[in-house]
Amino acid sequence: MGDLFKNIDDEEFADKFSTNEDCLHFLADKKWEAGFVCKKCANTNFCKGKTLYARRCTRCKHEESATAHTIFHRCHIPLAEAFRIAYMVCCNPSVSTYELSRQIELRQMTCWKLKSRLVTCLKSRGEVDILSDPTLI
């Protein structure tokens, strides 16, 4: 996720991820860039799902959204806002959740929960050293 936002400025980010649909489209493209494989039966054939950018297995009828099995899974805020938080955290992992809350106009605890997921993801990929900066989650 961090490498996604490396060479992108605020204006380009706003153009690319301004709506929830833009974000879903991006997630679907990234998630299934190597092709769809059903998590339940391993079938590779699919049709459109009931929701935007979801895919439905043609064999077992299991439906998977673009956000399933991502850090945005069961995210209760608009995806465009979640992407903005991700952008801000990836650009500056030490940004406070109070600052995120102020800029995006969300509750601080909501920002904290998403930032916690993001930092854990970045740490697992080796993109941020959580032990070297005590201000990170």
The reply to whether 135 falls in a domain is no
Residue 126's pLDDT band (boundaries 50, 70, 90)? confident
Q: Is 121 left (phi over 0), alpha (psi -120 to 50) or beta?
A: alpha
Spatial neighbors of 112 by CB under 8 A, at least 6 apart, are: 97, 137
Residue with tokens 């945005």: 72
What domain range is 54 assigned to? 2-130
Q: For residues 3 and 125, what is the distance between their CA atoms, to the nearest angstrom? A: 10
The reply to whether 136 falls in a domain is no
Q: What is the chain's mean pLDDT, rounded? A: 88
The reply to whether 31 falls in a domain is yes
The reply to whether 58 falls in a domain is yes
Number of domains in the chain: 1
The reply to whether 137 falls in a domain is no
What would the pLDDT profile of 55-105 be if each residue is shown by its tens digit?
Answer: 999 999 999 999 999 999 999 999 999 999 999 998 888 899 999 999 999
